[in-house]
Amino acid sequence: MGLPLAISAIKSGFKVIGVDSNSARADSINNGISPVEDIANTEIQQAITTGMLFPTTDYNQIKECKTILICVPTPLTEAGKPNLSFLEVAIKSVSPFIRPGTLVIVESTIATGTTKSFIQPLIKSFSGLNEKDFLLAYSPERIDPTNKSWNLSNTPKLVSGINLESQIHAVTFYNSLGINTFQCDSVEIAETAKLLENSFRLVNISFINELSIFCNKLNIDINKVISAAATKPYGFMPFYPSIGAGGHCIPVDPIYLANAAQAVGAPSRFIELADQINQEMPDYFVGRAEEKLGSLKAKKVLVVGVSYKPNVADVRESPVEGLISRLRQKNAHVSWHDDLVKEWNGEKSVALSSQYDLVILATPHAYLDLTKLGNVPILNTRGSI
């Protein structure tokens, strides 16, 4: 989310310093190579050439910046709990360079109350400033990679501030980028709204995956069921079956909400059940594979597509990792193909061919030519009967 914002700011006349702790990524951008699908290399090259974008690993470079945006990941720990370590490091690193009047905007997903209880005290402690000396706002990112219909320019942006002055400055900044804003009455409302957005998606994705299992038992095409239901012009939104929700938002953000709800004695049973169903989907498709082959022992299985969604190379929280692991636990010989990801978990993508007992289509990228698989049976996780 950081790079699209940087390019948007540059197009609006801002000079941008992009700080990343990953030196390889900073070097790549300095060489004009974009690490994200939505930003072309030519956009990076022009920004570098004109001196409008300065990628670096040196936080000292931001000391003259009037606006600082924090766009670091907030994943889960191995135990499935909120992990604010990246956010904490980022806040501690930028705080010494925050001057009086500097606007800090956090775009990372956080649990309700985090801006006031965690971020503001950290800035105060490591900047040496009083709370009234710096501006602090929260505006959760709303970027859907490779979405051609909705982007920064036409997706309303939630904006909130720790006080009215902070909110006004944040709204002014985003409006200067041509971004429409929706002002929230408090940072807690904006924090919770972000969690609601992706909890809504997780619950509905899990529900449609559960329904797809039911339809498969009855030999009903789930996608035709969804198409029929979607003819209703009100009260219905189509979601589609898959191997499970992945990525940095949908399987993660609801857990932040569930943990916050648990902490105040109002547990979210819907989120807990949706997360359980989502975690079980790889097991379901391993079972489907066993039904097709009788046994997976020593069978050659090719998994096609390992990123969390079509046409991106992002493998964060990809449910395909669980699928491959469970297939191997059944003693299957598993290879995978994904020319967007190329290398993952110490392995490399293999070519599509007909030298397999079964192909599992996990993530259907647009470039795929499935005719290369010949007559190998295909298990389509997107709704095949």
State the chain's mean pLDDT as an integer.
95
What digits encode the pLDDT tens for the residues 152-173?
889 999 999 999 999 999 999 9
Q: How far is CA 354 from the centre of its chain?
A: 33
Q: Where are the domains of the chain?
A: 2-188, 282-380
pTM: 0.91
Q: Do residues 90 and 70 lie in contact, with contact meaning Cβ atoms separated by under 8 Å?
A: yes
pLDDT, tens digit only, all 385 positions of the chain = 899 999 999 999 999 999 999 999 999 999 999 888 888 999 999 999 999 999 999 999 999 899 999 999 999 998 888 999 999 999 999 999 999 999 999 999 999 999 999 999 999 999 999 999 999 999 999 988 888 899 888 999 999 999 999 999 999 999 999 999 999 999 999 999 999 999 999 999 999 999 999 999 999 999 999 999 999 999 999 999 999 999 989 999 999 999 999 999 999 999 999 999 999 999 999 999 999 999 999 999 999 999 999 999 999 999 999 999 999 999 999 999 999 999 999 999 999 999 999 999 999 999 999 999 999 999 999 986 6
**Residue 252, Cα to own-chain centre: how many angstroms?**
8
Nearest to 84, CA basis, from 260, 273, 226: 260
pLDDT tens across 258-295, in order? 999 999 999 999 999 999 999 999 999 999 999 999 99
Q: What is the DSSP string of 286-324?
A: HHHHHHHHS--TT-EEEEE--SSSTT----TT-HHHHHH
Query: CATH topology for 2-188?
Result: Rossmann fold (3.40.50)
Domains 2-188 and 282-380 share a fold: yes
Residue numbers annotated as active site: 249
Q: Considering the domain 282-380 in this protein, what is its CATH number?
A: 3.40.50.720
